[in-house]
Amino acid sequence: MRLRDRVVLITGGATGIGKATAGRFAEEAAKIIICDVDERLGAATAQSLGPQVSFEQVNVTDRQAVQAWVDDVVARRGRVDVLVNNAGIVRDNQLVKVKGGQLVKQMPEADFDLVLAVNLKGVFNCTQAVVPHMIKQGGGVILNASSVVGLYGNFGQTNYVATKAGVIGMTKVWARELGRYNIRVNAVAPGFTATEMVMAMPEKVLEGMRAHTPLGRMAQPRDIANAYLFLASDEASFISGAVLQVDGGLVVGT
C-alpha cells in the first residue's frame, strides 16, 4: 500500500501505459483520476479498474480545460500528490523523402505542430496547473513520459523525438526549480512497449523491435507502470531530475 490515499492524476489514461499505470497505482491504494480525449474508452477504463479510479474528458492542449480539471480535483479531493504526464501521440514521417532526385514527400507542418502540442505543450500545461497546489500543500511528485528515442533519435520521428527530448529537458529544469518546494520531478524513457497501438503494427516491424532489444522481448505496459510506481513512492524520496530507461537494454536502430 505504498500510495495509500494519495491523489494521482494520469493523463492519457484510457489505454496503454496510462491504463496500466492507473491499475498498478490502484493496487497500491491510490485515488486516481485519469483523463483522456476519448470519453468512451476513458469511462470504460475507469469502470474496469474499480472505484478508486475515476475519469474526466480533458484535452491536455487546452490550457483552460486542464486548469479547470486540476482545480476541480483539488476542490473535491483536497490535494494532488502525483501527476503522471503520460498523454502522447505519434504522426511519423521523414523530414523529406526524395526519389530520383525529386522531393516526393515531407513531414506536414500540421503533424509537427500537433505532436508538439500534445506531447510537449500538454506536459507544460498540466504541470503548470498542478505545481501551485503542490507548493501550497508542501510537496508532490511529477512524472513525465519521455522515450529512449528522446535520448538516441529514431528514423522518421522528427516531431516525436523533439517532444521526448524536450520532456527530458523540462524534467531537469523543473527538478532544479521545484526541489526547494519538496517537489520531485523525474522522467521515464520506455523502449518498445506492447501497447494496443504498437501491437497493431505489422509482424515484421514487431520482430525488428524484439531483435533490437537484448532481453528479447518488448516491454509490457505493466513494466513501465512499475517504474512509475517506484518513482512515485517514498522509496524514491531522494531521486529527482532523473531519466529512468525501461527498455530491456535497447539498441536503437534505423
Q: Can you give the CATH number for the domain in which 81 is found?
A: 3.40.50.720
pLDDT reported for residue 254: 46
pLDDT reported for residue 63: 98
pLDDT in tens, the chain (254 residues): 999 999 999 999 999 999 999 999 999 999 999 999 999 999 999 999 999 999 999 999 999 999 999 999 999 999 999 999 999 999 999 999 999 999 999 999 999 999 999 999 999 999 999 999 999 999 999 999 999 999 999 899 999 999 999 999 999 999 999 999 999 999 999 999 999 888 988 999 899 999 999 999 999 999 999 999 999 999 999 999 999 999 999 876 54
Residue 243 has which C-alpha cell? 531519466
Give domain status of residue 70, yes or no: yes
Give domain status of residue 171, yes or no: yes
Distances (CA, A) of 118 to 58, 62, 86, 125, 249: 12, 9, 10, 10, 28
pLDDT reported for residue 253: 57
Q: How many domains does the chain have?
A: 1
Q: What global pTM score does this model have?
A: 0.96
Residue 252 has which C-alpha cell? 536503437
181 included as an active-site residue: no
Give domain status of residue 1, yes or no: no
CA atoms within 13 A on the CB side of 215: 12
Residue 158 has which C-alpha cell? 522528427
Options 152, 160, 181, 228, the catalytic residue: 160
Give domain status of residue 66, yes or no: yes
Give domain status of residue 224, yes or no: yes
Give domain status of residue 154, yes or no: yes
Range of the domain at 77: 7-246
- Distance from chain centroid for Cα 1: 23
Cα–Cα distance, 150 to 148 (Å, whole number)? 5
Closest residue by Cα to residue 188 from 88, 113, 93, 117: 88
Beta bridge partners of 183: 140
